[in-house]
Amino acid sequence: MSKSVQEQEREFLEDIEQITGIDYEAWAELMRGNSLNKKNDIIAWLKSHHKLNHLHANILAAVYLNGGKPVHLTEKEILNALFEKKENMRDFYTEVLQKILDFVPDTVVTPSKGYVLLQGSRDFGLINIRSKEIRLGLDLGDIPLDDETLEWGNFLGQPRMKHMIIIREIQDLTQTVYDYIQAAVVRSQRPKGV
């Protein structure tokens, strides 16, 4: 079984000195010393001047341009980043998510930069964690807005998630909200374009 990009990155960074003969800080100093600031230019330079293979040059350039931090985080690290400066929302998020999973047990939950994606056959919703509320975006197609839903628009690069429900307390998960979640799940089961 092939390794994920995340695993390849972690293994290379853990063994960088053994693999290349110098540690990451020395590589960073070398990259700072050249005038290159575009990833492909740095990769080409690392390959031609330092004889790194493409994978290692790519990882090194990406990490360097990311401020020395790994580019590919684990799901746990991504989720933890979502709570940065809003740790107070972690328990509430967990409770809301569990209610959704109890209602739609086969939901695949995928943390992403900026939100948590909810997937059935395809994406049906997302959770955006704010400092005092959770915003539940749903793909409800052309269902008109009402007292429970606000227009989301193309928030977070998810153009199909046009409806937003604000959840400030667990009681905000009303039967109407569950009906909307069910409608979004059903919509996600339709073939694309329908």
Instruction: Determine the pLDDT at residue 154.
Output: 64
Instruction: Determine the pLDDT at residue 76.
Output: 83
The count of structural domains within the chain is 2
CATH number, domain containing residue 145: 3.90.1150
If asked whether residues 18 and 80 sit together in one domain, one would say no
In a domain, 70, yes or no: no
Instruction: Determine the pLDDT at residue 78.
Output: 82
If asked whether residues 86 and 150 sit together in one domain, one would say yes
Instruction: Determine the pLDDT at residue 112.
Output: 83
If asked whether residues 55 and 132 sit together in one domain, one would say no
Instruction: Determine the pLDDT at residue 158.
Output: 76
Instruction: Determine the pLDDT at residue 88.
Output: 96
In a domain, 85, yes or no: yes
Q: Which of 13, 38, 65 is the last residue of a domain?
A: 65
Domain hosting residue 32, numbered range: 5-65
Instruction: Determine the pLDDT at residue 22.
Output: 94
If asked whether residues 60 and 96 sit together in one domain, one would say no
Instruction: Determine the pLDDT at residue 24.
Output: 95
In a domain, 194, yes or no: no
If asked whether residues 59 and 84 sit together in one domain, one would say no
If asked whether residues 103 and 24 sit together in one domain, one would say no
Can you give the pLDDT of all 194 residues of the chain as single tens digits? 567 777 888 889 999 999 999 999 999 999 999 888 899 999 999 999 999 999 999 999 999 998 998 887 777 888 888 998 999 999 999 999 999 999 999 999 988 878 999 998 889 999 999 999 999 999 998 899 888 888 887 666 777 888 999 999 999 999 999 999 999 999 988 776 55
If asked whether residues 53 and 81 sit together in one domain, one would say no
If asked whether residues 96 and 167 sit together in one domain, one would say yes
In a domain, 100, yes or no: yes
If asked whether residues 84 and 148 sit together in one domain, one would say yes
Three-state DSSP string of the chain? CCCCHHHHHHHHHHCHHHHHCCCHHHHHHHHHHCCCCCHHHHHHHHHHHHCCCHHHHHHHHHHHHCCCCCCCCCHHHHHHHHCCCCHHHHHHHHHHHHHHHHHCCCCEEEEECCEEEEECCCEEEEEEECCCCEEEEECCCCCCCCCCCEECCCHHHCCCCCEEEEECCHHHCCHHHHHHHHHHHHHHCCCCCC
